[in-house]
Amino acid sequence: MIYAEKIYKSFGALSVLKGVDFSVKRSEVVAIIGSSGSGKSTLLRCLNNLEQIDSGNIAIENKWMVQNNKANKAVYVADQEIKMICSKMGMVFQHFNLFPHMTVLQNIIEAPMIVKKMQRSEIELLAQELLSKVGLSDKYNYYPSQLSGGQKQRVAIARALAMQPDIMLFDEPTSALDPELTGEVLKTMQKLVEDKMTMVIVTHEMGFAREVADTVLFMDSGVIVEAGPAKALFDNPQNLRTQEFLSSMFK
Ligand code: ADP
Ligand code: MG
């Protein structure tokens, strides 16, 4: 579903991704862990074209979005095609990013109506289904300011799902939440795992990652230092940096 090879990305003089190789199979759940500043968000943002890479190859569902030329410089396909490719991916951010002046329902139906040209009646039906899936059936007429952080994040998940993505990318979806609200969001994500959604999740929730992820990647300073099955990586990390990171998390 995702194939990324030799990804390099700098911001000016700051080299942030330094040769990341990474792939995700259909229905696989991949968790990315690592300390702040290691490049996790940048990697996700490169996958759905919120940032452009300097060098490397990325294919989504067997379609090349960007490939190196002979000089190892990344060359992107046409804009229209990039849009098509990225429309297969939904993304959920740490800070929800809901439209504050729109109700929950409007937040969910906006993009499908405009981008996918779906009929209002059709998308409203889907929105109701999704709200019920995330446990917020009764909140469709509320504004974001009337919701708790956990509720806002569940609306953000429903909004991403309304575009009917094949892949969901999550960037620390619970990091801005009080601990007592984290569980309801993780439970919603757990449901997506049960539905066999393909997911990439950047998270500091180690217990959740250990339980739901098939594969865990540990990133440090712009490289993937260690990757493996969740339980093996958490219980028996091979790399010294992974060991140090995990012991700092469980201190
Ligand atoms: P993480 O998500 O692992 O905390 P990030 O990918 O957000 O790490 O950031 C990696 C590094 O890239 C950090 O040093 C950050 O300051 C830098 N960075 C991220 N985005 C930008 C940007 N748009 N411009 C300049 N530097 C950035
Ligand atoms: Mg980040």
Q: Best of 36, 38, 41, 45 to mutate for ligand 1, by most ligand atoms within 8 A of CB? A: 41
Two tokens, residue 241: 């940096």
Query: If you average pLDDT over every residue of the chain, what do you get?
Result: 95
pLDDT band, very low/low/confident/very high, at 150 (cuts 50, 70, 90)? very high
Element (H, E) at 23: strand 14-24
pLDDT at 80: 95
Q: Best of 16, 202, 223 to mutate for ligand 1, by most ligand atoms within 8 A of CB? A: 16
Q: Tens digits of per-residue pLDDT, 186-229?
A: 999 999 999 999 999 999 999 999 999 999 999 999 999 999 99
Residue 48 has pLDDT above 80, yes or no: yes
| Coil/strand/helix, residue 111 | helix
Task: Catalogue the long-range contacts made by 150-154 (C-beta closer than 8 Å, 24 or more residues apart).
Answer: 150/177, 150/181, 150/182, 150/184, 150/185, 152/96, 152/98, 153/92, 153/96, 153/177, 153/185, 154/184, 154/185, 154/188
Q: Buried b vs exposed e over 230-239: b needs ≥16 C-beta within 10 Å? A: beebbeebee
Backbone angles phi, psi at 169, to 5 degrees: -110, 130
pLDDT at 115: 87
Where is pLDDT greater, at 149 or 116?
149
pLDDT at 29: 98
Q: Output the residue whose Cα is nearest ligand 1's atom 11.
A: 37
Q: Output the residue whose Cα is nearest ligand 1's atom 16.
A: 37
Closest ligand 1 atom number to CA of residue 51 = 23
Could you tell me the sign of the dihedral formed by the alpha carbons of 177, 182, 187, 193, in that order?
positive
Closest ligand 1 atom number to CA of residue 35 = 3
Q: Tens digits of per-residue pLDDT, 231-242?
A: 999 999 999 999
Calculated CA dihedral for residues 159, 61, 64, 33, nearest 10 degrees: 70
Residue 251 has pLDDT above 90, yes or no: no
pLDDT cut 90: percent of the chain above it: 94
Average of pLDDT values for 138-161? 96
The candidate with the shortest Cα–Cα distance to 38, out of 223, 228, 237, 227, is: 223
**Ligand 1: which residues within 6 Å by Cβ?**
11, 14, 16, 34, 36-42
Q: Tens digits of per-residue pLDDT, 64-104?
A: 999 999 999 999 999 999 999 999 999 999 998 899 999 99
Alpha carbons 181 and 58: distance in angstroms, whole number: 35
pLDDT at 116: 86
